[in-house]
Structure 1
């Protein structure tokens, strides 16, 4: 069961209303999941949704690499809502079903391009080890450039915040979505 009170769109405070409208009328077009939780802290919601819009739609990473990083993060945190939302987006961005499934299971996918492997390995290493080796960093920078690596870390950090919010507040899966991480955590 979700932990925070259910957000009532008809009773938004003056501080919540402009943020809710900005999210609804922005590139997402929907106020769901962790965004609904954040609205209980309007200042956080305002800044986090703006960062999220950049991380999702404005970085130098093409959609397939961005979604790859998001999937690694969602799988690391076993964040069901995040996975249920982004696995279909990743597939539409061109990530093969077997790659998506390998990431869900915590395995290193086979058949990745050199650039995709650099993103996957950087994301996985940073999450698991809390640092990145010089070799992994060099591969990522060679593949993405310095700005791309900075953007990648921003994506990983933002989607960690998303995943932590989902897990801490028991954000339910979208209607009809199966739990991608059904085992006890």
Structure 2
């Protein structure tokens, strides 16, 4: 799965590594697809990151479609091959229009039919481009979703940026990935 890290050997795993793997496999993900076999070389980081990720993916208070939209914006921003490959089908199942995802993938601003989709895209895009979110966008997000969910959205964007960086630095691909959504 990685071109830069040695292949992880479960037979020689430390107790800490085994505990992290068990937590991931018994949690809501149920698989090790993604950055986990990279993080496992630092079991303490892996444990903290996978717990944060479970929260960010499943408990932000956002509907799945909006969480996956934010993840795809992040994957496109970082051109994270595996992140896009893993989350694109989830986004499609959650009801994100394919033309919206494709525009994001190729770096164009999508035409949105849904105002919540447009708001999440604008929030994430402003944060990534300007390193800030405008007062108008922040107010709209806080009015629509509440402060707790906006805090969670920032956490989700930060977490998936960490995932993207991990996947990119260690040249990791998703299980079964046979195509690349971004040019290298």
- Number of residue-to-residue matches in the alignment: 183
Counterpart secondary structure, 1:109: coil
Describe the superposition over 1:48-68 as per-residue Cα deviations: whole angstroms up to 9, x where unpaired.
000000011111001000001
| Unaligned 5+ runs, structure 1 | none
Q: TM-score, normalised by structure 2?
A: 0.95
Q: Could you say which residue in structure 1 is the equivalent of 2:42? A: 41
**Contact 1:115 1:144 (C-alpha < 8 Å) held by counterparts:** no
Q: TM-score, normalised by structure 1?
A: 0.95
Q: Could you say which residue in structure 2 is the equivalent of 1:134? A: 135
Is 1:110 equivalent to 2:111 in the alignment?
yes
Q: How far, CA to CA, are the matches of 1:11 and 1:5 in structure 2?
A: 13
Q: Could you say which residue in structure 1 is the equivalent of 2:172? A: 171
**Contact 2:82 2:177 (C-alpha < 8 Å) held by counterparts:** no
Q: CA RMSD in A?
A: 1.2
CA-CA distance at 1:173 after TM superposition: 3.9
CA-CA distance at 1:45 after TM superposition: 0.3
**Contact 1:78 1:181 (C-alpha < 8 Å) held by counterparts:** yes
**Contact 1:23 1:49 (C-alpha < 8 Å) held by counterparts:** yes
Describe the superposition over 1:55-96 as per-residue Cα deviations: whole angstroms up to 9, x where unpaired.
111110010000010000000000000000000000000001
Q: How far, CA to CA, are the matches of 1:144 and 1:112 in structure 2?
A: 19
Is 1:51 equivalent to 2:52 in the alignment?
yes
CA shift in 2, pair 1:58/1:80, >3 Å: same
Deviating above 4 A after TM superposition, structure 1's stretches of 4 or more consecutive aligned residues are: none
**Contact 1:173 1:179 (C-alpha < 8 Å) held by counterparts:** no
**Contact 1:68 1:90 (C-alpha < 8 Å) held by counterparts:** yes
| Unaligned 5+ runs, structure 2 | none
Counterpart secondary structure, 1:178: coil
Structure 1, 134-143 or 53-62: larger mean CA deviation: 134-143
Counterpart secondary structure, 1:55: helix
**Contact 1:16 1:42 (C-alpha < 8 Å) held by counterparts:** yes
Q: Could you say which residue in structure 2 is the equivalent of 1:98? A: 99
Q: How far, CA to CA, are the matches of 1:25 and 1:144 in structure 2?
A: 30
Is 1:77 equivalent to 2:103 in the alignment?
no
Describe the superposition over 1:127-183 as per-residue Cα deviations: whole angstroms up to 9, x where unpaired.
11111111111121122111111111010000000000001111124324310002x
Q: How far, CA to CA, are the matches of 1:95 and 1:118 in structure 2?
A: 14
